[in-house]
Chains A and B, each alone.
Chain A
Amino acid sequence: MIRRRFPWLSYLLVVTGAVLTVVPFLDMVMTSFKGPGESGTLPYRFLPEAFDLSNYRAAVDQLDLPVLFRNSVVATTVINASVLLTSSLAGYALAKLRFPGRDFIFRLVLSTMMFPPFLFFVPHFLILVHWPLAGGNDLLGRGGAGLTVSIVALVMPFLVNGFGIFLMRQFMVSIPDEVLEAARIDGAGEFAVWWRIVVPQTRPVMVTLGLLTFVDAWNEYIWALLVSTANPDVMTLPVGIQMLQDYVDPTRTMPIVMAGLVLSILPVLMLFLLLQRHYVRGIMLSGLK
């Protein structure tokens, strides 16, 4: 409609917006190559004088990248697997099974999205410190540091996700009951119905939820900061890079930080570009009709 009359207006708007979106990324990449005294000086220059990798080398030297990567990858993978599994199971029960308390549980799931995350930081931390029989604790959770000394602390509060359950439930509601009923008459138990019919049918939305969870977990900052303050061994990439600011030569701080950021963003970017087709389709299919 608008296209036929004002194609140039649409193009102008979209291209301007796209440029505004991409330019900060380009500035980040360009800055990551700038030498000492080249960044933050007047007048502003977009391009670096030379594309040398010394900032990347400095970032790699300052950061224990293998450890940071390992922590980020382990945490993200565990969180993702758990969120996908629990959301799919719970979503199926809430969408397709009848049982007393269903509406209450559904509302509980919705309400979890409204509490400020801050409300949970300290209680979660205390729960992990006092986890029974872990990290030197006795049965009542006293005496040791509990789970805070382990990488488990990084993932525990994110293993179940209210939004994920909500998304899966919304999608599963639209699966016709007749299909499930037919399988039940053929003698399939509920678990088989879920595994053989519901899981394959919900693959697109699983990809979407997986990507959303991946991005959130990979980029999570505040909780990871809290946990790695208590135990630097479980530091993740975002925390490590933010700390980079305090350690390096001030005239080169920003370029080195930018180099670290480029390194930490690359894996997510690759994954996103590989899967973006599924991601968009999953959102489109997820009941926004």
Chain B
Amino acid sequence: MVNALTPETTARPPRPRSAGPARTAVGPRARARRHQAVVAYLFLAPVLLFFAVFLILPLGFALLLSMSHWAGFHLGDIQPAGLDNFTSLFAGGSTFLTPVLTNTLLFALGTVALALAGSVLVATCVDNLRFQGLWRTLYLLPIVTTVVAVGNVWKYMYEPGGLVNGALNAVGLDSVAFLQDPDTALPAVVVVQAWASVGTAILILTAGLKSIPESYYEAAALDGAGPVTVFWRITLPLLRPALLFVCVTQFITGLQSFALIIVMTRGGPGDATNVAALEMYRQAFSYGDWGTASAAAFVLFVVILLVTLAQLWIFRRKGEDA
């Protein structure tokens, strides 16, 4: 799963066929190959049909919209706009770069950093404990919960009379208006997104940990390596594929997500928690500006692509150093 994300494996050329005997039996071989191609496309038919209707067609339409003015509803009202939508996104006075795109990046970065740190700690520690199944099940609970539940429960916990402020007051600290204060709103939402995604990360990292051969640890123990050295020199390097997978998938999720923010803050106060995906949603459904919304979606796609490629590049370079 992890390896296939790196370009080398996805771009693997087809294996050369054994040349010798094939020459003498070209007829049946070629027929068998053609038969296999037909069968393969039959197996793929539902998927390809779906992609044609629900991937290629929508992408074309979205691309068209990104270069048009359209208020929704009637397809006949689409007006060509060239690159206006894109230039207006980056024009002075536009909120798209700051705070929206900055918020998006901070949101994703904060989420991934918190979830990664938490999951590495927990996954390595759980591996050493009794009742591993119980602990893992507990950590997986947030995954099975709808974002509507997560958002509402935490929104309520952040309120002045909620659990978080109750705990702060109990230790003698003043209440904080987490979601109403522009300075704390974004970090508060980041914590919730990280809380909700740490379970998946633990699951994947545990799978990675299980695949590290026990003999490496035994050898390190014989050499008298301490636990910290073992962690940095053995566990972490060998966990790299799993870490890469967690980083890439969670960054993609973080950069795209807005359901949690809709439920918790609706982007507020002001634009303090407004992220790109929510801004598109608003442009389209609140302001009826589908062109700008679609253009912003493509910009977000490019950002996601760049962030993903950057991670692949960093992880590969680290790999060569090691």
User: Is B83 an interface residue when CB atoms closer than 8 A count as contact?
Assistant: no
- Interface hits, B287-305 → A, CB 8 Å: 290, 293-294, 297-298, 300-301, 304-305
A116 to B300, CA, bound (A): 7
Q: Is the CB of B208 within 8 A of A288?
A: yes
User: Is B215 an interface residue when CB atoms closer than 8 A count as contact?
Assistant: no
Q: Is the CB of B146 within 8 A of A265?
A: yes
Among A13, A20, A115, A170, find the residue whose CB has the most chain B CB atoms closer than 10 A.
A115
Q: Give the shortest distance, in Å, between A190 (CB) and chain B (any CB).
A: 4
**Contact (A44, B10) CB under 8 Å given A28-B153, A99-B37, A120-B54:** no
User: Is B165 an interface residue when CB atoms closer than 8 A count as contact?
Assistant: yes
Q: Is the CB of B36 within 8 A of A98?
A: yes
- Within 8 Å CB of A284, what residues of B? 206-207, 210
User: Is B137 an interface residue when CB atoms closer than 8 A count as contact?
Assistant: yes
Stretch in B55-63, B92-100, B312-320 touching the partner: B55-63
User: Is A40 an interface residue when CB atoms closer than 8 A count as contact?
Assistant: yes
The one of B1, B217, B256, B294 that contacts A117, using a Cβ cutoff of 8 Å: B256
User: Is B118 an interface residue when CB atoms closer than 8 A count as contact?
Assistant: yes
Q: Give the shortest distance, in Å, between B224 (CB) and chain A (any CB).
A: 12
**Contact (A2, B227) CB under 8 Å given A14-B126, A18-B135:** yes
Q: Is the CB of B156 within 8 A of A127?
A: no
- Within 8 Å CB of A160, what residues of B? 46-47, 50-51, 54
Q: Is the CB of B44 within 8 A of A90?
A: yes
The one of B58, B146, B159, B203 that contacts A218, using a Cβ cutoff of 8 Å: B146
The one of B50, B145, B165, B263 that contacts A44, using a Cβ cutoff of 8 Å: B165
- Within 8 Å CB of B11, what residues of A? 103
- Within 8 Å CB of A22, what residues of B? 138, 141
Q: Is the CB of B149 within 8 A of A123?
A: no
Q: Is the CB of B57 within 8 A of A123?
A: yes
The one of A17, A85, A261 that contacts B152, using a Cβ cutoff of 8 Å: A261
A105 to B46, CA, bound (A): 13
- Within 8 Å CB of B157, what residues of A? 24, 27
- Interface hits, B265-317 → A, CB 8 Å: 276-277, 280-281, 284, 290, 293-294, 297-298, 300-301, 304-305, 308
Interface string of B141-152 (1 = CB under 8 A from A): 111111111101
Stretch in A52-60, A62-70, A267-275 touching the partner: A267-275
Q: Give the shortest distance, in Å, between B131 (CB) and chain A (any CB).
A: 10
A40 to B128, CA, bound (A): 40
Q: Is the CB of B144 within 8 A of A170?
A: no
User: Is A51 an interface residue when CB atoms closer than 8 A count as contact?
Assistant: no
- Within 8 Å CB of A14, what residues of B? 122, 125-126, 129, 135
**Contact (A159, B50) CB under 8 Å given A46-B163, A190-B39, A288-B208:** yes
**Contact (A241, B304) CB under 8 Å given A3-B128, A89-B47, A126-B75:** no
Q: Which residue of A lies closest to B128 (CB)?
A: A3
**Contact (A105, B44) CB under 8 Å given A22-B141, A114-B252, A116-B256:** yes
- Within 8 Å CB of A85, what residues of B? 46
User: Is B14 an interface residue when CB atoms closer than 8 A count as contact?
Assistant: yes
- Within 8 Å CB of B1, what residues of A? 166-167, 170, 286-288
Q: Give the shortest distance, in Å, between A122 (CB) and chain B (any CB).
A: 7
Q: Give the shortest distance, in Å, between A227 (CB) and chain B (any CB).
A: 13
Q: Is the CB of B14 within 8 A of A98?
A: yes
User: Is B177 an interface residue when CB atoms closer than 8 A count as contact?
Assistant: no
Q: Give the shortest distance, in Å, between B190 (CB) and chain A (any CB).
A: 15
Q: Which residue of A lies closest to B142 (CB)?
A: A21
- Within 8 Å CB of A242, what residues of B? 148, 152, 263
User: Is B53 an interface residue when CB atoms closer than 8 A count as contact?
Assistant: yes
Q: Is the CB of B59 within 8 A of A221?
A: no
**Contact (A238, B148) CB under 8 Å given A39-B161, A89-B47:** yes
The one of A112, A119, A170 that contacts B4, using a Cβ cutoff of 8 Å: A170
Interface string of B27-47 (1 = CB under 8 A from A): 000000100110111011011
- Within 8 Å CB of B199, what residues of A? 21
- Within 8 Å CB of B22, what residues of A? none
A90 to B284, CA, bound (A): 35
- Within 8 Å CB of B12, what residues of A? 103
Q: Is the CB of B146 within 8 A of A219?
A: yes
Q: Is the CB of B241 within 8 A of A86?
A: no
User: Is B87 an interface residue when CB atoms closer than 8 A count as contact?
Assistant: no
- Interface hits, B161-210 → A, CB 8 Å: 161-163, 165-167, 169, 195, 198-199, 203-204, 206-208, 210
Q: Which residues of A contact B (CB under 8 A)?
A: 1-3, 5-7, 9-11, 13-14, 17-18, 20-25, 27-28, 31, 39-46, 85-86, 89-90, 92-94, 97-100, 102-103, 105-110, 112-124, 126-127, 156-157, 159-160, 165-167, 170, 189-191, 194, 215, 218-219, 221-222, 237-238, 241-242, 245, 254, 257-258, 261, 264-265, 268-269, 272-273, 276-277, 280, 283-284, 286-289
Can you list 26 A-B contacts with CB-CB less than 8 angstroms, sorted by A residue number? A2-B128, A2-B230, A7-B129, A9-B125, A14-B122, A24-B150, A24-B157, A44-B165, A85-B46, A97-B39, A98-B36, A109-B47, A119-B62, A121-B284, A126-B61, A127-B58, A159-B50, A219-B145, A219-B148, A221-B146, A237-B146, A258-B156, A280-B203, A283-B207, A288-B204, A288-B241
Further pairs besides A21-B141, A97-B43, A219-B146: 17, Cβ < 8 Å: A21-B138, A22-B141, A25-B145, A100-B37, A107-B10, A112-B55, A113-B252, A114-B252, A118-B258, A118-B297, A119-B301, A120-B54, A122-B65, A124-B58, A277-B133, A287-B3, A288-B241
